[in-house]
Amino acid sequence: MISISDAYKIYQVGDSEVRALDGVSLTVEDGEFVAIVGPSGSGKSTLMNIIGCLDVPDAGAYQLDELDVTALSERRIAKARGRKIGFIFQGFNLLPKLNALENVELPLIYQNLPYAKRKAAALQALESVGLRDRATHKPDELSGGEQQRVAVARALAGRPSVILADEPTGNLDSKTGEEIMKLFHEMHAAGNTIVLITHDPAIAAQAERRVRMQDGKLYEDSKEGCA
Amino acid sequence: MIWQSAKMAVKAIWGNKTRSFLTVLGIIIGIVAITVLITIGQGATGQIVTTIEGIGTNVLEVSILTEDNPLDLEKLETDLRAMDVVLDVAPSQNVSGGQLKWMGNTMNARSISGTTPAYPAVKNAPLAQGRFITQADLDNESYVAVIGANIASTLFEGSNPVGETITIAGLPYTVVGVLQKNESGTMGSTDSQIFIPFTLAQKIAGTRAVASFTVAASNSDSVNDAEAQLKAYLDDLMPDNSEGSNRRRSGNMRTNVMAMFGMSGGDNSNYSIYNQSNVLDALGEATATLTLMLGGIAGIALLVGGIGIMNMMLTSVTERTREIGIRKAIGATRGNILFQFLVEALLLCLLGGGLGLGISALILRVVAYFMNIPLAISLSVIEMALGFSLFVGLVFGIYPANKAAKCKPIDALRFNG
């Protein structure tokens, strides 16, 4: 469960200050599929960084499951990030020198999982995105859609509390994008909590809940069933 | 985690072969310089020490310089054998050499010395064949000779010299023994020497005085005691009564020069004593200083290599900002990243150290062949070389590794070239 209350993040740009987060409160229940929409500069990336434990708010509280993230040391935050958050990026962000399986294994290595368990979990995750037969391929031997599916497998492998996706279809053509979105629905159906950041209304419409960022403030759009 | 980091490091190093090799080259050159210089230093020192020790570190060579010499053979043997730190004494009387003849063969003898039965024990010169000069030979002033190994092989060309008669400078001698070949080198070697009875040599030279003798101390620890007792004895026997500032000054200068070569006559200009152990000590000090200096120069090469490693690691950190960001996003801590880059630097340096040792071994083989001295890299040099490489890796790896570890994941991920 994500619970952010009254979070502020203010950047100083030259003489003016930019209020990236201006008193944002957001609660995401376990198993929810939430889309955060908003134009660039609206503060949605800042919000994503805070949800993903990549950054901490200047003021306000962030509770992730049992953890009070704002009170944790840098080391504990890094550990929490690895265990609780599964990132999916627009640019895939696979390590180019590792093959698909090794990429999926990486978060498990940082969780100190023993070799056999790690291999099994990584293979299972690859299986769930339908890429088990591509396990030994390097990222540059895979298509964009396949790379993103490896990234999805990597996010899933560590069984995180939250899947955090930043424009996951942004670098893909619409057909491949659809396939990735299908994966998201599957993940959701399997009980995963998903937070999806996008500026594409068509993608956002597929989430069960939509929130909108505008000038550092958060607005609840709607709460409805899966489209 | 260590294993994983090592695997990642190997991948990173291997993934950039050319650059890794060029970076490591600095370390290789540094390690080769250290290893080769120190090993050659050790080898050369070892050989000189072996040579000197072969002559014996428990011996004192004494020369009586005054014309007014009261020592004769009987007095020398009686007085010196009475000293408890003296094992034995062997006098020597050189007579001029000449042509050697046996059957049709001839050769020139450079050195013929008269000595006593004590010689083989005092000078550590064992016999290969036959016997040495005996007391009876001395008493009878017999025309017998003991020859060095080179003379035996050159003059007799393989046949047994013992019992044969050779002609030395026109006089016939019976060969009674052959000395073993002296492996320790050229200095003080007996290989080209001929020994005859001391009394006979004195008769040929026309003297009764003993001008030169070798004293063996009971062991190498008591050599300095023996030297002191010998000095007291000789000072008592022939006090230095030379006055006059001119004589004194030149005497001092001579003393200084002699001291450099391990000789000492004290303030008495009537005799000089040459002490092998002093030479060894002085040699040890000189070579230790030299080795240290060579090591220092090589250390500078290693330092430059280390800076090369740091430079490459810093470049690598900048290039891999995105990788660091991704790793951090999926759960790597600062410690994980620091460790990964540090292991990479350490592995690079160890690789350089290993390659350096390998190349050194090849170079030393060639050098050993041409210099004709045994050169083996000692274990301590291997330990030192690898230790140095690890140290360089640690020192020059920690800063780039720390820089990588400090990358903030958001900044790192934004780096999306």
pLDDT tens track, chain A, 227 positions: 899 999 999 988 888 888 889 999 999 999 999 999 988 888 888 898 999 998 889 999 999 999 999 999 988 998 899 899 999 988 889 998 889 999 999 999 988 889 899 999 999 999 999 999 999 999 999 999 999 999 999 999 988 999 999 989 888 898 999 999 999 999 999 999 999 998 888 899 999 999 999 999 999 876 554 44
* Interface contact flag, A49 B410, Cβ < 8 Å: yes
Question: Distance (Å, rounded) from C-alpha A207 to C-alpha A186?
Answer: 12
pTM of this prediction?
Answer: 0.68
Question: Distance (Å, rounded) from C-alpha A191 to C-alpha B65?
Answer: 109
Question: Distance (Å, rounded) from C-alpha A95 to C-alpha A103?
Answer: 7
Question: Distance (Å, rounded) from C-alpha A187 to C-alpha B359?
Answer: 57
Res B242: pLDDT: 57
The percent helix, strand, coil of chain B (3-state, each to 5) is: 60, 15, 25
Of A83, A89, A95, nearest to B323 by CB-CB distance is A95
Is the CB of residue B388 less than 8 Å from the CB of residue B301?
A: no
| Closest to B60 (Cα-Cα) out of B248, B209, B234, B252 | B234
Q: For residues A130-140, b (16+ Cβ closer than 10 Å) or e, as one string?
A: ebeebbebbbe
Q: How far is B348 from chain A (nearest CA, A)?
A: 19
User: Which of B330, B337, B410 is the best substitution to test chain A (most A C-beta atoms within 10 A)?
Assistant: B330
Of A91, A94, A109, nearest to B4 by CB-CB distance is A109
| Closest to B145 (Cα-Cα) out of B118, B110, B171, B180 | B171
Hey, which residues does B90 pair with through a beta bridge? B214
Residue in chain A nearest B410 by alpha carbon: A54
Q: How far is B357 from chain A (nearest CA, A)?
A: 31
Name the least confident of B50-59, B254-263, B328-337. B254-263
Give the A-side interface with B, CB within 8 Å: 49, 52, 54-55, 74-75, 78-79, 81-83, 87, 89, 91, 93-95, 97-98, 106-107, 109-112, 154, 158
Query: Which residue type, as a one-letter code, is found at position B404?
Result: A
